Amino acid sequence: MNKLPEQNDLSTSNSLSFGEGRGEASLYIIKIGGNVIDNSEKLHEFLKAFADLKGNKILVHGGGKMATQLAAEMQVEAKMMVGRRITDIETLRIVTMVYAGLISKNLVAQLQKHGCNAIGLSGADANLIKAKKRPVKDIDYGFVGDLDENSVQTENLSKLIDGGFIPVFSAITHDGDGQLLNTNADTIASSLAIGMAKHYQTSLVYCFEKKGVLMDVNDENSVIREINPTFYEDLKAKGIIADGMLPKLHYAFEAINKGVKEVFIGKADDLSELESVGFFGTKLVN
Amino acid sequence: MNKLPEQNDLSTSNSLSFGEGRGEASLYIIKIGGNVIDNSEKLHEFLKAFADLKGNKILVHGGGKMATQLAAEMQVEAKMMVGRRITDIETLRIVTMVYAGLISKNLVAQLQKHGCNAIGLSGADANLIKAKKRPVKDIDYGFVGDLDENSVQTENLSKLIDGGFIPVFSAITHDGDGQLLNTNADTIASSLAIGMAKHYQTSLVYCFEKKGVLMDVNDENSVIREINPTFYEDLKAKGIIADGMLPKLHYAFEAINKGVKEVFIGKADDLSELESVGFFGTKLVN
């Protein structure tokens, strides 16, 4: 297993560490997007599968259409720039309410119903994810928070996990100086997986709209089961991985290079396979 | 110190208990109402005082005007009945967003700025407060949750406190079957203090708009420093405690009868006195 640079070994040695119980315990970080949140039937099935998954796990959820709906009800105009939402102060208020309030607490209540000891968290809670407000260059993205390798406060998060709690993260972070920030949920999932690789064997699981990485984009049955870096370069060169899959896989392999054991990419509907056959969609490995 | 009935002793003996470390550790449960939330200057001072207060502590916050404002922006009509808000499904959505999202996460971000390791929680999180939907009799209050002596899951909450986290509760609970519920914040504070009296010496602190219980309602300097049950009966008989103070003190003494060590009632502005002189407003004792 790749390890992160050793800079944090001093802090980990002060608490639970490899020799002291957590050892090579595994941890799943599972990210669902708005397409799951917006479909109550899909969501119900997904949450059941998530609750049934044994072992340590974290859920990271995106927002879905609810924030856009609320903005419309409040007659707040959604501001987009190069396909990204601009988070002005009013939009920050809305996403804080919808992501960290409405969606987070409803997911938690549903998971508790399934016997899963979920706890809904933003990055501000227990200082778990500290972001930096994105600097203004050509575009002012507003209250958007970017993460770096020190963003995740892994000791507090490990305490919660070791206490038997199942963290459910919304994509709201803070700057440590009292300001909440809006952060991309994919990035949160990846940063959690990388950060927690100090303490656990982490598996990062992205649920998206397809069954996995496809050999033929028009054939859902052409899922590639496993991709390593060499095969990845090959698939890129042949144009099989292109467009929206490129950044997804780029960040996935970056996570693997930074100590994450494996990345799965697949459809939320199939999550139960992770428990039943230990596999899900496409697996990316080192 | 009064103890609760012994029915829960079996469960506490399985984990940390009096003999094993927490012993007679103290725990403050501090409740602030909407008047503090709505005034940013007052709120800032209060949060600083709360952060500075040493030892174990829990913050419980009400809602303030923000829910009403949001309802107006969304053109949802606030429904009141005998002075109480009726929580229809739309109102539940609003209070979940405002209390458990907007207010909770902003309080947490501010407290983290002051070095206080706050974690924002609803009753659904970690199944901490399980309520029962209020039965429909003459009035259907909608999605309102009532608490009883088994509502607070004290083991999970103790784990968080012993882990160094400072719980910040919004007044949203759940029924354990997937449904969120709206619950009175005063009642949440009191139930937390009573439930946690199994594990800690609990002090319940209510912040309201006056400096304490007043001998003369028109004189802010006539604060009664300490009231025991005999004095309480005397003050009631003389009509000095009347109107809105009656239910407040009734529930406060009920908490004391159920194992809470002391109840303070005073003004949020003065909270720093609790740290500096160990006293605040009016103290109710057994």
DSSP string covering B15-76, please? SS-GGGT-TT-EEEEEEE-HHHHT-HHHHHHHHHHHHH--SEEEEEE--TTHHHHHHHHTTP
Q: Give A201-230 pLDDT, tens digit per residue.
A: 999 999 998 999 999 989 999 999 999 999
Q: Which residues of B98-108 are buried (b: 16+ CB within 10 A; e: fewer)?
A: bbbbbbbbbbb
H runs (alpha helix) in A22-153: 34-37, 40-52, 66-73, 89-95, 104-113
Check A102 against B98: CB less than 8 A apart: no
Tell me, what's the pLDDT at B12?
Answer: 37
Q: Do B127 and A110 touch (CB under 8 A)?
A: no
Q: pLDDT band at residue A82, thresholds of 50, 70 and 90?
A: low
Nearest to B74 by CA among A220, A187, A69: A69
d(CA A240, CA A245): 9
B-chain CB neighbours of A47 within 8 Å are none
CA distance B11 to chain A (A): 17
Can you give the CATH number for the domain in which B42 is found?
3.40.1160.10
Q: Decide: helix, strand or coil at residue A136.
A: coil
Total domains present in chain B: 1
Of A108, A112, A180, the CB nearest to B105: A180
Q: Which of B75, B110, B124 sits opposite A109 (nearest CB)?
A: B124
Contacts of B108 in chain A (CB under 8 A): 122, 124-125, 174
In the three-class reduction of DSSP (H, G, I as helix; E, B as strand; rest coil), residue A43 is classed as: helix
Measured between CB atoms, which of A113, A126, A180 is closest to B106? A180
Instruction: Give A261: exposed, middle or buried? Use CB within 10 Å, 0-12, 13-18, 19+.
Output: buried
Q: Tell me how far apart the alpha carbons of residues A7 and A11 are, in angstroms, rounded to a whole number.
A: 9
pLDDT band at A81 (very low <50, low <70, confident <90, very high): low
User: What single-letter amino acid sits at A94?
Assistant: I
Pairing relationship of beta strands A56-61 and A26-32 according to DSSP bridges: parallel
Is residue A45 in a domain? yes
**Does residue B143 sit within a domain?**
yes
Cβ-defined contact of B105 to A100 (cutoff 8 Å): yes
Find all residues with CB under 8 Å of A281, minimum gap 6, and list them.
A211, A212, A213, A223, A264, A265, A266, A267, A270
Q: Considering only CB atoms, which chain B residues are within 8 Å of A97?
A: 70, 97-98, 101-102
Q: Which residues contact A33 (CB under 8 A, 6 or more apart)?
A: A62, A64, A185, A207, A208, A209
Instruction: Please give the residue of chain A at the shortest CA–CA distance from B175.
Output: A109
Quick check: is B285 in a domain? no
Domain that holds residue A129: 25-209
Interface touch A101/B106, C-beta < 8 Å: no
State the smallest CA–CA distance between residue A121 and chain B in angstroms.
Answer: 7
Q: Over the stretch A251-277, which tens digit does the pLDDT of each residue have?
A: 899 999 999 999 999 999 999 999 899
What sign for the dihedral angle of Cα B115, B120, B126, B128? positive
| Residue B67: closest CA among B107, B36, B102 | B102
A92 or A15, higher pLDDT: A92
pLDDT value at position A105?
98
What was the pLDDT predicted at B5? Answer: 39
Output the CA torsion B110→B111→B112→B117 (10° steps). Answer: -160
Gap between the Cα atoms of B200 and B196, Å rounded: 6
Establish if B259 belongs to a structural domain. Answer: no
Query: What residues of B are in the A interface, CB distance below 8 Å?
Result: 70, 73-75, 93, 96-102, 104-106, 108-110, 112-113, 117-122, 124-127, 156, 159-160, 163-165, 172, 174, 176-180
Closest partner residue to B101 among A100, A125, A176, by Cβ? Answer: A100
**pLDDT of res. A8:** 37
Q: Kindly indicate the confidence band of residue A118, based on its pLDDT and cuts at 50, 70 and 90.
A: very high
Check if the beta carbon of residue A176 is closer than 8 Å to that of residue A218. no
Query: Does residue A82 sit within a domain?
Result: yes
Chain B residues touching residue A181 (CB < 8 angstroms): none
A113–B126 C-beta distance less than 8 A: no
Pairwise CB contact (< 8 Å): B101 & A106: no
- Among A110, A122, A126, select the one facing B165 at the smallest CB separation: A126
End-to-end CA distance of chain B: 9
B159: number of Cβ within 10 Å: 20
Q: Among candidates A54, A162, A63, which has minimal Cα distance to A107?
A: A63
Please check whether residue A254 lies inside any domain of the structure. Answer: no
B250 in a structural domain: no
Residue B163: which of A93, A120, A163 has the nearest Cβ? A163
What is the pLDDT tens value at each position of chain B, 286 positions in all? 334 333 333 333 334 433 344 557 999 999 999 889 999 999 999 999 999 999 999 999 988 788 888 988 888 887 776 666 689 999 999 999 999 999 999 999 999 999 999 999 999 999 999 999 999 998 899 999 999 999 999 999 999 999 999 999 999 999 999 999 999 999 999 999 999 999 999 999 999 989 999 999 899 999 999 999 999 999 999 999 988 888 889 989 999 999 999 999 999 999 999 989 989 999 999 9
Identify the residue whose tokens are 């303030």: B64
Q: What is the interface pTM, i.e. ipTM, of the complex?
A: 0.90
Q: How far is CA B33 from the centre of its chain?
A: 9
